[in-house]
Amino acid sequence: MPELDPVRESAAIKKALDRERKARKLAENLLEDRAAELYLANQELDATIARLKKSNLQLLQSEKMASVGQLAAGVAHEINNPVGFISSNLGTLREYIADLSEVIEAQQKCIGGVSQLAEKALANDSANYAELLEELNEVLKKVDLEFLLPDVRDLLDESIDGVKRIRKIVADLSDFSRVNSPDYKLANINTLLEKTISVAWNELKYKAEVVRNFGQIPEVKCNSGKLIQVFLNLVINASHAIETRGLMTISSKQQNDTVIVSISDTGIGIAENKLASIFDPFFTTKKAGNGTGLGLYIANSVIKSHQGKIEVESTLGVGTKFNVILPIAGPKMEDDGENDKDNKKTESEQ
């Protein structure tokens, strides 16, 4: 074998090292470029996620406002009704007070007359006393205290009850307005259902007999404002599905580690070929202009965020039943700790 030239061998090794060095440099440059691209892509992804979260909140707010708009006339009627009879009661009470003042004035005159007549008793001057008594009796006949006094109590009780009704409606609307709150706290689902019925009552009372079958259930860790929006969407949909007059049954029960809320109606039902699409955004079976097509989509999204699910059964001409299944312990998520922090922060700020 011919001997290798050390110089040529050294040059070959140097060239090989240079090639390796250049390849490594190129690989490093490519890696840096790729890392920069990944960083920018990650930044863009974070921005997209932030935009989607903002859009989701705006969507929730939009649907909530659509629901409020839909219920506004009914809620105004529910508030105006007690306000109306409270106003009427106060007017009647003003008249009663005037009558009572007349009685009191006549009694005071009579009492004053008795005092004067006591001094004149020896002179047998009793004609004035008889006249005063006659005047008092005439006033008593006109005022009719036997009717007036019990009616005053009834008017006051009715007015106080009306104020309580107004306070309850406003409180329930306030709970509904908290839909954008991020907090997950323990809540009584039966209470949330009652608040939902209260807010939607003017929509329901003309369309359906509402039957409550509330079971003994534990409190559920949830976002109560968002759940009220879910229940409200389902209840209003059930009301719209009833063409004239029907039955709506709202029930709750515990099943293992979940709570199931069922809302059923005896309405027109949903065609089987449309059931798969009812949770799609902008899909609606209502007439044009009667719905946004977002109610069930948002309801499904809210329940998924609670790691629950919504099931639906429907038969044309018979009715529809929605089952909302919620884990009692709430969603098991990494951000649970963040929610707890938010709760503590909110509590500390209060």
pLDDT at 336: 45
Q: Across 224-257, where does the E strand assignment appear?
A: 246-255
What is the average pLDDT across 214-225?
92
| DSSP state, residue 2 | P
- Type and span of the H or E element at 286: none
For CA atoms 196, 181, 65, 308, the dihedral sign is negative
pTM over 0.75: no
144-167 pLDDT, tens digit per residue, is 767 777 887 788 888 888 777 777
Locus of tokens 């708009």: 69
Kindly report the number of other CB atoms within 10 A of residue 288's CB atom. Answer: 6
Question: Closest by alpha carbon to 241, among 196, 212, 284?
Answer: 284
Q: Which residues are CB-neighbours of 318 under 8 A, at least 6 positions away?
A: 266, 269
pLDDT at 293: 61
pLDDT at 74: 63
What is the average pLDDT across 23-35?
79
- Identify which of 35-44, 46-55, 306-315 has the greatest average pLDDT: 306-315
Q: For residues 313, 317, 318 and 323, what is the CA-based torsion angle, rounded to 10 degrees?
A: 30
Question: Closest by alpha carbon to 260, among 207, 213, 292?
Answer: 213
Q: For residues 202, 203, 206 and 209, what is the CA-based torsion angle, rounded to 10 degrees?
A: -100
DSSP string, 175-216: HHGGGG----EEE-HHHHHHHHHHHHHHHHTTTEEEEEEE--
Strand order in the sheet with 309-315: 208-214, 246-255, 258-265, 319-327, 309-315
Q: For residues 265, 268, 272 and 277, what is the CA-based torsion angle, rounded to 10 degrees?
A: -80
pLDDT at 335: 47
pLDDT at 198: 84
pLDDT at 337: 44
Locus of tokens 């019925």: 197
77-130 pLDDT, tens digit per residue, is 677 777 777 878 878 888 877 777 777 777 766 656 554 554 454 345 555 656
CA distance 121 to 126: 7
Q: Which residues are CB-neighbours of 185 under 8 A, at least 6 positions away?
A: 221, 222, 224, 343
